[in-house]
Amino acid sequence: MSAAAQTVTGVNAKQQKPKAWRELRRLVPYIGPYKGSTSFGLLMLLIMGLIGAFPPLIIGSIMDCLKGSPQPMPNLTEAGPAGAVGFWHTVLKPILVFYAPSSRHTLAMLCLLLVGFVVLKGIFSFWSRWVLIGISRDIEYDIRNDLLARLVKMDPEFYVRNRTGELMSRCTNDLSAVRMVLGPGIMYSATTLVGMAVAIAVMVKISPVLTLEVLIPVPFVFITVRYFGTVIHDLQAKIQAMLATLSAKAQENLAGVRVVRAYGQEQAEMRSFDESNREYVGQNIRMIRAWSLFFPALQMIIGFSILFVLWEGSRMVVQDRMSLGALIAFYTFVGQLVFPMIALGFVTNIFQRGAASMGRLNYILDAAPVISDADAQKTDRIRGEIEFRNLTFTYPTTRSGKGTQAANNRENAPTNEPVLRNISLQIPAGSTVAIVGPTGSGKTTLAGLIARLWEAPPDSLFIDGKSIRQWPLDELRRAIGFVPQDAFLFSDTLRENISFGVDDASMDAIEDASHVANIAGDISDFPGRYETIVGERGITLSGGQKQRTTLARAVIRDPRILILDDAFSSVDTDTEEKILQGLEDVFKQRTTILISHRCSTVRDADQIVVLRDGEIIEKGTHEELIGLGGYYAELYQKQLLEEELARE
């Protein structure tokens, strides 16, 4: 099994496998709001089951009428001792009123009754299906909303441990399997119980001995269902995990298709996908093999019941202990009993699949973000003063790559080296601070801690003199405008991308933010202007256009803290200079943190902080750092030389 598949199933592999009902118990709160509709649907099923008892009895009466019996199905309609009238005699009284042996009138009336009951059964069947299947769709809608609500609240750590394709598979394929439990699963279960109860009640009244012989194979049915149910549950869990792996592979290849083509790895990626695909198909074949054995085994066991009916029932008719109509009715009820027994296997498959899938959904629904408002207090509006006090930070996840299961078991994970060490830094409100340093020095991590994407150690990071944990997350993040290194755009219009996170943004505000980010000119050249669809992840835009669009998105929020994480890396120096000129007024009104590799970007900052190996090695203004002759001075001289060579 692939590593990704192990990620999904590894949690349960080390623990005792939970019972199916324990996984499905999580669905009870979702059914609560629809208990009235569910009760109505189940009532329709009950009525349908009771109505379904009449067609076999009418068919039996027709056979006795054709044979010329003086009374239809005496086993049911004869009065008891001392002339006592039984339940079934009362139920069948409408038939007894007009019954006459070998009468055309009786046959016509019985045929009309048969058609009427079949139509009624069809009507109630439609209503029960319409209600119960509709409820399953409504609950699917509710669960899907809860899944998304949970996913958007999770920390970056969660997405390090779980691949996007796997999560998508859980929210689509697994959710569909759970919906089958709520719709067809409940419906067929209720139909099976009602159908079996009614059929057995009538069969016992017709012939208790024959009914007992028919029910002899039933324990073997339950043993077969239990055995194959366990096999199907285990196989389904593996299949869903492998499907998640396939989804993850497909998603990564589609998202990185340009990289795959640029490196000529089409065939290699196809071979890798083919291996996972063959593994997935192999598990499905095992499932088909189990499923193929399941139904024949049930049919063989049920066949013995039919054999008992034909053998013993024929003897009873010959011995005049049962009418031919009663035997036909009994045989018809056995046929009705066969479907619930087979449906029991179908329902078992639905519930086992649904339980396996619900367990995978529970992983998401039960996931709790590490970063929360547990320590939040009522506070004033954020001004923008930031202070780091001897902060040392280590990532809580392993660095083993694509989120394998090693990250799920933190106590067994290798200890990471701190990313940031002994960071002490005071950033006054309204000032501009630049952070420079080599790749991997911790610049982006420092910015992520301010936005509380990662949790800083207690009493090491303060906003306006209060611990960052005391600020409600919503309020903190509303006060921050973050332009990350990876400029992400949604597959929507430029207008929607720029106004993302701002309710009812006016067109004037969108245009002003675009001018500040120096993207307005490019947008005016597009045929659709601000209504231009940028494609998935902004694929129709250049890297510089995407960065400037995300910069406009941050500016329009009018944040108290503006974080620009290497936001000009994809634009040339001339464009960068124009953007910085447009941002001069913006910088004066808020606390700004500039992260960059270019000295030209940060030279006008109020304070420049140089990070190396997670530690602050230099701090001061541009002129002060040049005078020190350290890392920053060397970087500045190298970039000056590069600019001179570029001019030549």
3-state SS, 169-225, equals: HHHHHHHHHHHHHHHHHHHHHHHHHHHHHHHHHHHHHHCHHHHHHHHCCHHHHHHHH
Task: Indicate whether 379 pLDDT > 80.
Answer: no
Say which residues have a Cβ less than 8 Å from residue 519's Cβ, sequence separation at least 6.
545, 548, 549, 551, 552
pLDDT in tens, 556-576: 888 888 888 877 766 667 777
pLDDT winner (highest mean) among 22-36, 134-148, 321-335, 517-531 = 134-148
Reported as a single tens digit per residue, the pLDDT across 572-613 is: 677 777 777 767 777 777 888 888 877 777 888 888 888 888
CATH of span 372-479+559-648:
3.40.50.300
Q: Summarize pLDDT for 327-372 with one digit per residue, the tens.
A: 788 878 777 776 676 666 677 777 877 888 888 888 888 888 888 7
- Helix or strand holding residue 421 (H, E): strand 420-427
Which among 104, 115, 126 has a CA at the least distance from the CA of 48?
A: 126
DSSP strand pairing (591-595 vs 561-565): parallel
Closest CA to 555 of 511, 521, 597, 613: 511
pLDDT tens per residue across span 292-338 = 777 777 777 777 777 777 777 777 777 777 778 777 888 787 777 76
Residue 387: pLDDT over 80 = yes
Tokens, residue 63: 């056979």
Tokens of 77: 């309609």
3-state secondary structure 108-122: HHHHHHHHHHHHHHH
String of DSSP letters for 535-587: -GGGTTS-HHHHHHHHHHHHHHT--SEEEEESTTTTS-HHHHHHHHHHTHHHH
| Torsional sign, CA 47, 49, 50, 54 | positive
Q: Which two tokens stand for residue 348?
A: 């078992």
Range scoring the smallest mean pLDDT among 86-100, 222-236, 574-588, 605-619? 86-100
Arithmetic mean of pLDDT, 425-438: 86
- 599 CB contacts (<8 Å, ≥6 apart)? 436, 622, 632, 635, 636, 639
Confidence of residue 19 (pLDDT cuts 50, 70, 90): low
Give the closest residue to 593 by CA, choosing from 395, 467, 382, 428: 428
Q: Over pLDDT 90: what percentage of the chain? A: 0
With cut-offs at 50, 70 and 90, classify the pLDDT of residue 406.
very low
pLDDT of residue 580: 74
- The average pLDDT across 189-212 equals 80
Spatial neighbors of 53 by CB under 8 A, at least 6 apart, are: 198, 199, 202
Mean pLDDT of the chain: 77
The rounded distance, in Å, linking the Cα atoms of 147 and 173 is 13
Higher-confidence residue of 62 and 266: namely 62
Residue 20's pLDDT is 65
Mean pLDDT, residues 87-91: 65
Write down the residue that tokens 């589609």 correspond to: 254
Q: Which of 460, 469, 462, 451 is nearest to 394 (CA)?
A: 460
Cβ within 8 Å of residue 226, ≥6 positions away: none
pLDDT at 191 over 70: yes
Q: How confident is the model at residue 646 (pLDDT cuts 50, 70, 90)?
A: low
Q: What is the pLDDT of residue 414?
A: 41
Q: Under the phi-then-psi rule, with left for phi > 0, alpha for psi from -120 to 50, and beta for the rest, what region is 291? A: alpha
How far is CA 438 from each of CA 171, 617, 625, rounded to the nearest angstrom?
A: 40, 12, 16
* Residue 119 pLDDT: 92
Q: CA 386 to CA 465: how far, in whole Å?
A: 8
Are the C-beta atoms of residues 593 and 447 closer than 8 Å to each other?
A: yes
Q: Residue 197 pLDDT more than 70? A: yes
Does domain 488-558 sit in CATH 1.10.10.10? Answer: no
Q: Is the pLDDT of residue 109 over 80?
A: yes
Q: Which of 167, 62, 125, 153 is nearest to 453 (CA)?
A: 153
pLDDT of 12 > 60? The answer is: no
Strands 386-393 and 615-620: unpaired
Residue with tokens 């509710």: 142
Tokens describing residue 578: 């124009």
Identify the helix (H) or strand (E) that includes residue 105: helix 104-153
Quick one: pLDDT at residue 78? 60
Q: Give the span between the Cα atoms of 601 and 593, in whole angstroms.
A: 12
Q: What is the pLDDT of residues 234-281, one digit of tens each?
A: 777 777 777 777 777 777 777 677 677 776 777 777 887 777 788 888
Q: What is the CB neighbour count within 10 angstroms for residue 642?
A: 10
- Cα dihedral 136, 141, 144, 145, rounded to 10, equals -140
- Residue of 219, 179, 502 whose CA lies nearest to 351: 179
Q: What is the CATH number of domain 3-41+125-365?
A: 1.20.1560.10
In the chain, the percentage of residues whose pLDDT exceeds 70 is 85
Q: Compute the distance between CA of residue 33 and CA of residue 27 in angstroms, rounded to an integer.
A: 11
**Confidence tier at 85 by pLDDT (50, 70, 90):** very low
- Under 8 Å CB-to-CB from 119, ≥6 apart: which residues? none
CA dist., res. 120 & res. 208, Å (int): 29
Residue 615 near residue 391 (C-beta atoms within 8 A): no
Q: Are the beta carbons of 610 and 436 closer than 8 angstroms? A: yes
Residue 615, helix vs strand vs coil:
strand
Quickly count: other Cβ atoms within 10 Å of residue 236's Cβ: 20
Strand partners, 483: 564
* 3-state secondary structure (DSSP) of residue 60: helix
Among 43-52, 238-247, 447-456, 493-502, the range scoring the smallest mean pLDDT is: 238-247
DSSP helix/strand/coil, 79: coil
Q: What residues have CB less than 8 Å from 185, skipping those under 6 apart?
A: 347, 350, 351, 354
Q: Where in the chain is the domain with CATH 1.20.1560.10?
A: 3-41+125-365
Residues of the chain with CATH 3.40.50.300: 372-479+559-648, 488-558
Helix axes 54-67, 324-365, angle to 10 degrees: 170
